[in-house]
Amino acid sequence: MDVDDETPAAQAAPAGRGEQAGRPSGSIKKRKPLRPSASRADIYVTRERRRFNGHVQRARRLLLERNYPAITIHGLGAAIPNAIKLASTVRASLGGQTTMDVSTDTVTLFDDVVPEDADADISTQMRHNSAVHITMALPPAVRTQVFARQRKR
C-alpha cells in the first residue's frame, strides 16, 4: 500500500504566502451592490455623514410636497445605523405622524480578486451583508390635512 507524505490536513492547508484558508491571494476590488430598479421614492443611505441633511430634506419633500404615498430608506452594512437615524429624524421632524415598516435582509455581494501573479485570471468571490429597508408613510388623515393647507397657500 502506498503512503502519501501529505495528510488530509496538509492538503487542506492554504498554499502560498499570506493566504488564509478559503481566501484567495491577491487584492480584492469590491463591486458596487446590485440595486433593484429604484423609484424616485427610494433613498439609499451611505456611510457618509455629509449627505444626511440632504436626505432629510428629500424625504420630507417627497412625503409632504410631492404627494408620494410612501418612501423607502435603504441601508447596507455599515450604513444601517445612518438609515435608522435618518428614519427617526424624518419621523421626529414630522411630529411623529408617520408610520414605519422595517424589514431586514441579507444581500449577496460580489468582489473581484485580482491575483498578485499577472498571468493568473481575475476571480470572483461572493459574500453576504446585512441590509435594512424602512418604508415610511403619512396616514391618510394627515395627508389630507397637509395637502389642504398647501392648497390654501
pLDDT: which is higher, 35 or 23: 35
Query: pLDDT at residue 152 above 80?
Result: no
In a domain, 51, yes or no: yes
- Residue 8 domain flag: no
- Asked if the structure places residue 34 within a domain, the reply is no
pLDDT digits 0-9 by tens, 5-29: 433 333 343 444 444 445 556 788 8
Average pLDDT estimate for 60-85: 94
- Calculate helix-pair angle for 80-93, 52-64, nearest 10 degrees: 50
Residue 17 lies in a domain: no
The domain total for the chain is: 1
Residue 74: what are its φ and ψ, rounded to 5°?
Answer: -115, 135
CATH number of the domain that 99 lies in?
3.30.110.20
In a domain, 5, yes or no: no
Residue 20 falls inside a structural domain: no
Higher pLDDT, 140 or 62: 62
Which residue range(s) make up the domain with 57? 39-152
